[in-house]
Amino acid sequence: MKNEKRYLTFALGKGRLAEKTLDLLESIGVTCEEMKDKNSRKLIFVNEELKLQFFLSKNPDVPTYVEYGAADIGVVGNDIIREENRSVYEVLDLGFGKCRMCVCGPQEAQELLQHHQIIRVASKYPNIAKDYFYNKKHQTVDIIKLNGSVELGPIVKLSDVIVDIVETGSTLRENGLDVLEEICPISARMIVNRVSMQMEADRIRKLIGMLREKIS
């Protein structure tokens, strides 16, 4: 007797990214009706027919679930992928959730980035900040980890500059800060567990193919 298909499990970063991912999946016929009930407190949602499961998690946890195989597939920004540095395959740029990882601060701070002096850098992304300053700019810096509203750093003189995401630029503008240097472009990426990529190769490759065709 042929083995029953096992569930393919998706971990999606909570919020706008998850909504856009679900819209994209729906456009290729991969739906999850259960997830549309906004009042539900359920944590995991199933599409019995397609043998799929979906759950939402905090963005930084998505690569963790995928590395350990608790999810076969994850969708999260490459800011998180780079910061968390988990052992997963990054298989597809989904093309939405576009923004930029930048060094930002008041214009006067531009000078501090030119002369390899020790400065203070506040960020939700300490690993990305460290990698950029140490390995790319060869500048020794003091990195201060924050958990949000990072733009406050230079305003209250906690730090000289910040490393953060810039999408529309309005948070910077409204707080008298500018982009001083660009580190890398960011967008939503699909990641896959290394073992699942071998064991479920047919299903996962088919899915990637359909998504690639849809977004091209």
Provide the 10 A C-beta neighbour count for residue 39.
Answer: 4
Residue entry with tokens 């998690």: 57
8 vs 186, beta carbon nearer ligand PRP = 186
SS3 48: coil
The least distance separating ligand PRP from the CB of residue 151, rounded to whole angstroms, comes to 6
Instruction: Compute how many residues bind ligand PRP; rule: CB under 6 A.
Output: 13
Question: Which of 212, 156, 178, 10 has the alpha carbon at shortest distance from 108?
Answer: 178
Q: Is 142 in the site for ligand PRP (CB under 6 A)?
A: no
How many residues are given for the chain? 216
Q: Is 156 in the site for ligand PRP (CB under 6 A)?
A: no
135 vs 168, beta carbon nearer ligand PRP = 168
Among 114, 135, 170, 198, binds ligand PRP (CB under 6 A): 170
Question: Which of 159, 154, 189 has the alpha carbon at shortest distance from 80?
Answer: 189
The least distance separating ligand PRP from the CB of residue 85, rounded to whole angstroms, comes to 20
SS3 66: helix
Q: Is 184 in the site for ligand PRP (CB under 6 A)?
A: no
Paired tokens of 64: 């963790």
26 vs 167, beta carbon nearer ligand PRP = 167
Among 64, 110, 171, 175, binds ligand PRP (CB under 6 A): 171
Torsion of CA 149, 151, 155, 161, to 10 degrees: 130
| Contact residues for ligand PRP, defined by CB under 6 A | 124, 148-151, 164-171
